[in-house]
Structure 1
């Protein structure tokens, strides 16, 4: 490109004079060694970085001569690369396309391009062609000079105190051998945390912000240790120096033995309780170091986080509970799940388990470069690996497994929680150690740091670098979507000075502040200290139980095997329910055991229901499986399989069998809030939802059909008709062909509705769905929940209704014995084939017992050996239902007896508080297929088989004969 002359119109900008001076003084500057994909491209800036080094040397003349090899003079190449890389690669591409680069190979032509950049005329021409970039590069040099000069002054002034407090033995800046100044994001005009290594081998951490909160946290930790926790907690040693401070460097170290690893997880549980009470926030992986058996927190600026008026509104009761739960601390595992056209991804950044693992990438792509070092080099957006962190403990060269130490984490949490509860009056009193925090500086998180980083990256797009005003305007428009224009103005100013915006306040109150002072017009909703005192006042055993649910649920999200049972979980053979406390055993005989267990499950579900009919929304907290791989904490959703529809079905059945009026009211609340005809979307909008029987549409029809009978309320059939219209308009195969989420499940409920109501819409939908299923590609497997066995059942149901002979005369398909990972349950495996055979018999296909003889043998063996969970889907009660259905289809007293024994054993476990759901750790969740509602429904099938239809066969009337 042609070099641009120096600007002549108007006053010459200061950056232009500086770059001209830099290239005049340092034209022969030796390039620094290249690092990274864009390292060689940065050689063109060597005169500018040499100019900055000269200015820094002038600033540090008072310290005596320092060689240019001193760590203070190292340029910030990563920052410069982020600012210039995209532009230089774009210029390289233009030069290659024009054919102006000499050389025989891509490498030769790349070197020719970089050599041209070192020519002063081309270098200055490029900077003058992109004044927004040039202006920011010079500003970055000024920030670099100021921050390092300030560090040097502070280090030298504090040498005596550093020696006394941290034992260092150096006496000048010359004693620094390494200095990593990018140990965190830039804030407050380019200032960053620095980790320095000294000639004596010690390391110190310099923090360019006040450390009063770390000082007071260490004192609070000592206060807690004096009150006798099982294991003492450790805090970082710091020296507070007003606007900045120093901290001892905490090095990661392995645990010496297994008991030490157990103590590490206990301490993390204890810290989780303490940080929850302190309303801590943002305790991610980079803020914790695993130092042997001690988790040590190295950044505590986000304590007393009371939120801001700019926090997004919460319209869902479960979201509100989650925001106020222990999960908000950020220490417990939580996957950030995102999806796009490339699929579903999840990353964990939490303090306990987050950070880089093999193959674990960031959810969002960032700029990267293909074919670096050649003229083919080009920008591409890749998902980079998560940064390496030191937060996870190590034993014998292997990282610890938090899920495997769930009991230790939960025990540490409960122990510290109860300790805080026992000393609550002291903590709320006039001499409370919390009072020391009142005027400390704490951070207020207004917007996610990742969002700020993305905005900064986008602001260096080549299209924005030709005009400073265009770059500023682009940032301004992006920030307009934020919470408040006054905050956005501060965010813009901070981003334009190269910073990640930061806001602070004091726990006792006061204005929201940025690096320039108070943000005009901000009025806090509440103070951090008031929030902490309120949380302390609300501590109770009931709240502890609630928070422990979140602790264990968060640990469950580390499981990666979908809904497959945990092979390491304890198994419960029939006849060995385990010791049960005498007070937990009912006196009314075994049927009483079943109904007592049902009432216990219904009672817990009533007690954990969130919201109300009056608020227009009810829900439960649950663990939800995303993409059949990732567990996530959140509202349970709507579907029959894991959502509120299935929970309402169980509660309604429990009310009818056990006379539980509270359970009925809860079920009525669910129906009133989910299926109010006046509030339902239009059928064409509902048609976008998955049609399967255990999803929203099919599951809703199933529930309403059942409750219309159970409650003798025909108006529910009118509501079901609206959902049937949506099923008729939906794409039949939108959720796949299977029974669980797809067309087969939709077909069964459509046929059931038509048999009950007989309208033309449902009949047409049955025909269309059956036709789509017959024309669909073969199912991927032969399971009942997802594959050909369930599809065959659905088609047989449709054929029975339509009067055609489409049933498979050979009976249910057979799953090959060598299918990897096949589960024995309703969803797949031997029990799945028994369900298919029983379902086909109900649809008019003769029950061919011989086809499932081997499967029944397998089911019996699994029952006697015991399963890891009690769920309907792939647990004990799913096998019990298979045995019950087999005994009903062909007299088999032994199968019927075993089904009853299984249910009674599960009922005893329920009453002893030891029942296990089908999610990781057997954790309590509300849903039907894998949760407590399903366990209760399975027990109702045992207690009243003539009254409660088989939901696993999608029956809405008890038409399955009893054994």
Structure 2
């Protein structure tokens, strides 16, 4: 008797049990008789229940119960589901277990030495645990060969090289090794001597220079003996994934060959005589959708190539017909599009291969970027989205869109999600989101969990971005005793969306005018068409089949990565729980939303290892799911009607709006703050021939001019609500983003409103009061939240600081209640203060003035001073207590970690600002703990002071170059802000704050003079605010004269250039209306110079 037979019999019995442990949640929920099962309370069940609640509802009991109820469950029913012992298969175990068992039999009988030596060597050096993975792929190949032989068709023999089938098999093997590798590696680590694991942890390279494999071979022999039965008994969900991979591979490979054969004559007719024998393929060129289907590149013996897309090609064919019509009609008015050949076969299509070719002359680059603007205009008018860098290829001087499935992308009907769309939201969508930005072509930063990391994946993006990760997990010492997985640097492949000039990639930065010129030319071309011509050009898009992108692919990919971790692969329940993370987005609704069937389909796709794929018709408003379920009125209108409306609404004003947004997106892509630049721009001219002082009337007139300019750029919504489009700053990544402004004081509507309110109070002009109140209307309605949990979630999302958080709302509303004579604003400020609960404070990790607890103190003290509410003071005290517990030791001194791994100096994010807030709290409470803690932070900064530079170092990580930190002279980081903080608390804390350091800060600021930019946070007016305060508090009139002269100089240059300098490395035409980084702050400082009664906003005085 074969000695393997008994083993396989045992393995088969175990596999029968796998069908239970491999069941998914969705399958158990639908199983009849589930509610008659006993309620389990074992440890595994309780752990799963806790994990499910955390994953699906962030651990919130009420939300988890809601999630369960929407599937007809309660906690007892959930326990029944999660208990494997409650379920016994009394029917066929399913195709996946049969397939898996066959693969396991193939593994047991597999003899590695029978393979060709060259193949074996390649597997040994490239495929982890190849001896265990290869037999699974080999079995799948055998099934494919048997299927093809049964067809008895000479097509495969004559038209498909055996190498093609080998490549398909290799692709499957690579996927199986990727899936199985982490779990096998975990088992191998437990098998081999612990000393090897310890050394691998310490060393970057493998332990043994001579690659020994004794332990490795013993491990392979152990696992091979039972065909991985024990392994799959532990990792049951992985067993099912592997079976699904093989099943999907067989189905899609057979389907590809069948479609190739059926379409062969049409392919030759469409693409010409180069279609001969198929010799190579590249698989996996897209995400997996619809049971493992993916895009394939097809290579023929002649050298010709095609792209096979396993999806309907109707909209792609319509797109190329549209481009061809435009080329024929334009007759040289615009540079022509490249029109790709396509064969649409209904269920799939074959498309011309687009190669990333180089240009040979500079003028071709000019034309490439003009065509890029033309392409941008076409995609914008066609309502396209998701046109990121992977969907555009630079074919010489032609930018080619190679994925058209998201053209005419529809707008969702928000009522489906239980949401009411406000008019201001609709207006903002029309002005901003329903713009060229929606295409995905224009630069836009994406931020991950690490707020310092950002990446631009747009159609114009992908060039070196500095912060982009350059490491990935790779195997080292593969298939040896010392094999491990480590993060290693790798060379990124060249991005194909960028044009090449003699092989070198050329950035779009110098060519923005070419892009805009192309956009304007094509927009005007379409605008000038007659109504009949527009109907002809766009009518072909009616009733086309398109993709609807419900969520970002990144979200789905992240969930699948989590589900493929070894802990989640131990059972179908564990795997399903990770997939259930999708439920979180639905739980904000009180009742089960009409979109719940989408969640069910998302689960089904992800459990099959597919990226969910939804489709609809350009002529309908319903979303029809693969399950057959229909969600009526899912879209607010048909996407073809949206297209017709967009084309019908074209005019010169809309064109100007789009061009402004294009420029703004380009400005945001390359803008950096002053202190991030390695080299400063030229200093502004000296003070010769500049008036020593501007008259009060001139200062006020300029503030009024700024106020009017800000008003003119506002977007007016329902009830005259106001917002602006501007460049928002993300300080941790030092990136700018073009977007509608938020409500913050730093760069949002509160800051603008505070300036307008101050302008009203000084000028007496009523329109500025109206503007200020209208800018606040959206915030005031959002603050009316009764549920404390919702308030806390809002505070965690927005943070609690005095510049970019809830504290900024409190301060601005308190100030404006007085400035505008509107006591109701004080009630709103108090409402905002209730968002800052002890729970929120205790969870604060930012701590700083901008976003954290110290900033919250400043906002809370402003309203306490106005209303003397003890509840408000208590919240400030909680903040102070939190700061006293969060101080940490650093090189013998104590300070706070805000957003870097080391404490920082400075006002915005560093010790100076935190100490300032604690000292302000000390003056109110008399609690010496705040004084003592503040002094520790001051002592830390004193220790950092450099007599050589007469300044304090910028300790942020990017500032560290060539072995030392840099020095900046700004309010946020450097002498002006530190000096301002110490000046403001000098009388409170004479023991720790010395006049010597205040004088040093003054001298450093004076020596710096004026330079780009002009705004408050990092610019000239922030430096001048410190000097102005010093002149008044130290009675040094000479400093006031210096400020007057600097102000006159800046205003003179602004008048000559037509604008203030708001950037260091971006054209001055970019408009920023905000308080700390824009025009409102400049206007506010002019009012400070006009009237000594206007308090310093950089100190949050009131």
Q: TM-score, normalised by structure 1?
A: 0.80
1:876 to 998, 1020, 1033: 1020
Indicate the residue corresponding to 1:785 in structure 2. Answer: 908
- Listed as ranges, the matches of 1:343-492 within 5 Å are 345-354=453-462, 360-361=468-469, 372-374=478-480, 389-395=495-501, 399-403=505-509, 405-423=511-529, 425=531, 428=534, 430=535, 432-453=536-557, 484=595, 487=598
- CA 1:596–1:392 in 2, change beyond 3 Å: closer, same or farther? same
Q: Does 1:335 align with 2:445?
A: yes
Aligned to 1:674: 779
Q: Deviations over 1:404-444 (max 9, x none)?
A: 5444444443443344334374654x4x3111222433222
8 Å contact kept, 1:403–1:558: no
Report the CA distance shift for 1:142/1:905 in structure 2 as closer, same or farther (over 3 A).
Answer: same
Aligned equivalents of 2:578, 2:1095: Cα separation in 1: 61
Question: What is the CA distance between 1:737 and its match in structure 2?
Answer: 5.7
Is 1:181–1:195's contact at 8 Å kept on the other side of the alignment? Answer: yes
Give deviations 1:374-409, integer Å, cap 9, x for gaps: 578789999999886412334566544445544444
Name the SS of the counterpart of 2:1098 in structure 1: helix
Partner of 2:1051: 904
Q: 1:30 aligns with which of 106, 112, 115?
A: 115
1:240 equivalent in alignment to 2:343: yes
Distance 2:837 2:291 in 1: 61
Instruction: Answer yes or no: is 1:157 the counterpart of 2:265.
Output: yes
CA distance in 2, matches of 1:230, 1:673: 45
Note the alpha carbon deviations across 1:263-320, whole angstroms, 9 max, x for none: 4334323322221111112212221112233321111121111134588658685674
Q: Per the alignment, do residues 448 and 702 of structure 1 end up closer, same or farther by CA in structure 2, a change over 3 Å counting?
A: closer
d(CA) in 2 for partners of 1:782 and 1:128?
56
Q: What residue number does 2:133 align with?
A: 42
Aligned-partner Cα distance in 1 for 2:632–2:496: 37
Measure, in 1, the Cα distance between the counterparts of 2:510 and 2:1094: 38
Are 2:418 and 1:307 equivalent residues in the alignment?
no
C-alpha distance after superposition, 1:483-510 (max 9, x if no partner)? 6455566666666776544343343348
Task: Judge conservation of contact 2:700–2:1087 (CA < 8 Å) in 1.
Answer: no
Q: Structure 1 residues 766, 228: closer, same or farther in 2, change over 3 A?
A: same
Q: Which residue matches 1:325?
A: 435
Q: CA deviation at 1:604?
A: 3.0
- List per-residue Cα deviations over 1:532-552 (Å, max 9, x = no partner): 111122333443344344434
Which secondary structure state, in structure 2, belongs to the residue aligned with residue 301 of structure 1? Answer: coil
2:1080 counterpart of 1:941: no
- Kept in 2, the 8 Å contact 1:639–1:696? The answer is yes
Question: Is the 1:80–1:137 Cα contact (8 Å) retained in structure 2?
Answer: no
**In the superposition, relative to structure 1, how do residues 840 and 427 fare at CA in structure 2: closer, same or farther (>3 Å)?**
farther
- For residue 754 of structure 2, the aligned residue among 611, 634, 649 is 649
- For residues 678 and 749 of structure 1, what CA distance do their matches in structure 2 show? 18
Change over 3 Å in CA distance of 1:37–1:652 after alignment to 2: farther
Structure 2 distance, partners of 1:575, 1:481, is 57
Aligned length: 926
- Taking a change above 3 Å as real, the CA distance of residues 694 and 521 of structure 1, as seen in their structure-2 partners, is closer
| Cα distance in 1 between the residues matched to 2:213 and 2:1099 | 66
Instruction: Identify the residue that residue 527 of structure 1 maps to in structure 2.
Output: 638
Secondary structure at 2:308 match in 1: strand
Alpha-carbon shift at residue 594 of structure 1 (Å): 0.8
Supply the distance in 2 between the matched residues of 1:719 and 1:603 (Cα, whole angstroms): 24
Deviations 1:681-730 (A, max 9, x none): 76994886755432434323432342233233455455545666777957
Residues 55, 145 of structure 1: 8 Å contact kept: no
Is the 8 Å Cα contact of residues 976 and 1001 (structure 2) preserved in structure 1?
Answer: yes
Q: Check if 1:916 corresponds to 2:1062.
A: yes
Change (3 A) 1:16 1:700: closer
Within 5 A, what are the aligned runs for 1:351-750?
A: 351-354=459-462, 360-361=468-469, 372-374=478-480, 389-395=495-501, 399-403=505-509, 405-423=511-529, 425=531, 428=534, 430=535, 432-453=536-557, 484=595, 487=598, 499-509=610-620, 512=623, 520=630, 522-523=632-633, 525=635, 526-559=637-670, 564=675, 573=684, 590-591=698-699, 593-605=701-713, 607-608=714-715, 612=719, 622-625=727-730, 627-671=732-776, 673-675=778-780, 679=785, 685=792, 690=799, 692-714=801-823, 716-717=825-826, 720=829, 731=841, 734=844, 738-742=848-852, 744-748=854-858
* Stretch deviating more after TM superposition (800-809 or 631-640): 800-809
Give the root-mean-square deviation of aligned CA atoms: 5.2
- Indicate conservation of the 8 Å contact 1:279/1:304, yes or no: yes
Residue 901 (structure 1) shift: 0.5
Determine helix, strand or coil for the equivalent of 1:75: helix
Residue in structure 1 matched with residue 200 of structure 2 by the alignment: none
- Residue 710 of structure 2 aligns to a residue whose secondary structure is helix
Unaligned runs of 5+ in 1: 579-585, 957-963
Residue by residue over 1:51-81, the C-alpha shift from the partner in whole angstroms, topping out at 9 and shown as x without a partner, is 3234235447322746874314433444455
Quote the residue 2:55 is aligned against: none
What is the DSSP-based 3-state SS (H/G/I as helix, E as strand, rest coil) of the residue aligned with 1:195? strand
DSSP 3-state at the match of 2:213: helix
1:542-594 C-alpha deviation (Å, 9 max, x unpaired): 4334434443443355448567465789768368999xxxxxxx999844651
* SS of match in other structure, 2:967: coil
Question: Quick check: 2:127–2:177 contact (8 Å CA) kept in 1?
Answer: no
- For residues 829 and 464 of structure 1, the distance between their equivalents in structure 2, rounded to whole angstroms, comes to 48
Residues 385/720 of structure 1: CA separation in 2 closer, same or farther (3 Å cut): farther
Q: Cα distance, 1:645 vs. partner?
A: 2.0
CA offsets 1:460-482 (integer angstroms, 9 cap, x no match): 78899899999899979968977
Could you tell me whether the CA contact under 8 Å between 1:266 and 1:409 is conserved in 2?
Answer: yes
Whole-angstrom CA distance in 2 between matches of 1:756 and 1:743:
20
Counterpart secondary structure, 1:332: coil
- 2: distance between equivalents of 1:204 and 1:384? 29
CA distance in 2, matches of 1:294, 1:134: 42
Tell me what 1:952 maps to. 1098
Cα distance, 1:603 vs. partner? 1.4
Per residue, is there more helix in 1 or in 2? 2
TM-score (norm 2): 0.71
Decide which of 180, 205, 214 is 2:307's aligned counterpart.
205
C-alpha contact (below 8 Å) 2:324/2:339 kept by paired residues: no
Q: 1:960 is matched with which residue?
A: none
Instruction: Say if 1:38 and 1:81, in contact at 8 Å, map to a contact too.
Output: no
1:581 counterpart residue number: none
Q: 1:132, 1:471 within 8 Å by CA — same for their partners in 2?
A: no
Partner of 2:63: none
| 8 Å Cα contact 2:687/2:1045 also seen in 1 | no
1:238 Cα offset (Å): 1.3
| Alpha-carbon distance, 1:666 to partner | 3.0
Quick check: 305-314 or 527-536, which moved more?
305-314
Unmatched 5+ residue regions in structure 2?
1-5, 17-89, 197-207, 587-593, 888-893, 897-902, 954-964
